């Protein structure tokens, strides 16, 4: 599933194509993805001008001058294609601009979603209501984690994946950040010291920023809007590297927690 860096990379790739452009065609090619596509999406978006693009957690945001925001989620394998030569079966939303550009939202498995809400009411959009702070924002701090983890015996990895504690973190980057911070993924969250929490916050930011710079991680079907594949997977410290060497010299192990694979090094992660 595309995680925060992949969505951020997508938003940055779409911005030069869309910002300031009037939308001359907005055409849903089916009635639903994971859930129904708004029936008035075509009417409300056609003729609008895109003002800004942004991201909240793993959702992309396209704001218009009509006071509406198109919210997209890429699901398991969704991606935007810019100026595709042909339109395929799995291109479920087409957008054309007055500048002559064309975009297609491609989602073979249809686990993504499209919603259209008033920009002023974004905070009330149901998936956003309970979200924690952005991991790249100022509200994500050691103090925030200390308060969220206080008295908790649940594993630190599982709590980092809780979107109510921090928004947008996924399995890949949590594994990587915990390894960089030298914290065992199974350690009770409430027992992680304040200095270690500060190290963890820094590691989360470093891993995410490196992944964004690399264009995301190519897992399964993800590609950037320009069609290029992200290459952060070549920089993985532990993820997907069971039996290989950790940067510390130890051996990467794998276990399953909450239905997800956890990659870690028992030598350096305590």
Domains and CATH numbers, the chain: 4-129 (3.20.190.10), 142-236 (1.10.8.50)
Active site residue 266: no
Which strand (E) or helix (H) includes residue 14?
helix 4-18
Q: What is the mean pLDDT of residues 109-134?
A: 97
Number of H helices, E strands in the chain: 7, 10
pLDDT at 171 > cutoff 90: yes
pTM: predicted TM-score of the whole model, two decimal places: 0.91
Q: Could you give the angle at the alpha carbon of 119 between the alpha carbons of 101 and 70, nearest 5°? A: 35
pLDDT at 108 > cutoff 60: yes
Active site residue 260: yes
Active site residue 36: no
pLDDT band at 222 (very low <50, low <70, confident <90, very high): very low
Per-residue pLDDT, 219: 39
Of 2, 135, 185, 225, the active-site residue reads 2
Better pLDDT: 109 or 216: 109
Of 6, 21, 55, 58, the active-site residue reads 58
The single residue listed with the structure tokens 């006071």 is 67
Q: How many CB atoms sit inside 10 A of residue 143's CB? A: 13
pLDDT at 217 > cutoff 60: no
Active site residue 2: yes
Q: How many CB atoms sit inside 10 A of residue 259's CB? A: 6
Beta bridge partners of 69: 63, 117
């Amino acid at each position: 599933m595309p995680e925060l860096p992949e969505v951020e990379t997508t938003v940055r790739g779409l911005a030069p194509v869309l910002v300031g452009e009037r939308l001359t065609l907005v055409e849903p090619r089916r009635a639903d993805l994971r859930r129904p596509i708004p029936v008035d999406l075509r009417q409300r978006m056609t003729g609008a001008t895109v003002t800004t693009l942004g991201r909240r957690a793993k959702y992309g945001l396209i704001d218009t001058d009509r006071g509406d925001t198109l919210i997209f989620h890429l699901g398991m394998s969704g991606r935007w294609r810019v100026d595709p030569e042909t339109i395929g079966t799995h291109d479920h939303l087409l957008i054309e601009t007055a500048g002559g550009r064309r975009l297609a939202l491609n989602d073979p498995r249809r686990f993504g979603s499209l919603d259209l809400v008033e920009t002023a009411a974004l905070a009330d959009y149901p998936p956003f209501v309970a979200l924690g702070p952005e991991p790249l924002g100022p509200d994500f701090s050691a103090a925030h984690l200390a308060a969220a983890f206080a008295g908790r015996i649940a594993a630190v990895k599982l709590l980092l994946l809780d979107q109510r504690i921090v928004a947008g973190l996924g399995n890949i980057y949590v594994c990587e950040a915990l390894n960089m911070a030298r914290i065992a993924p199974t350690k009770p969250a409430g027992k992680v010291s304040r200095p270690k929490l500060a190290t963890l916050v820094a590691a989360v930011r470093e891993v995410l920023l490196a992944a964004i710079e690399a264009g995301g991680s190519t897992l399964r079907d993800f590609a950037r809007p320009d069609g290029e594949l992200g290459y952060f997977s070549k920089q993985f410290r532990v993820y997907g590297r069971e039996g290989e060497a950790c940067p510390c010299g130890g051996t990467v192990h794998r276990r399953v927690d909450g239905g997800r694979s956890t990659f870690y090094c028992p030598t350096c992660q305590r």
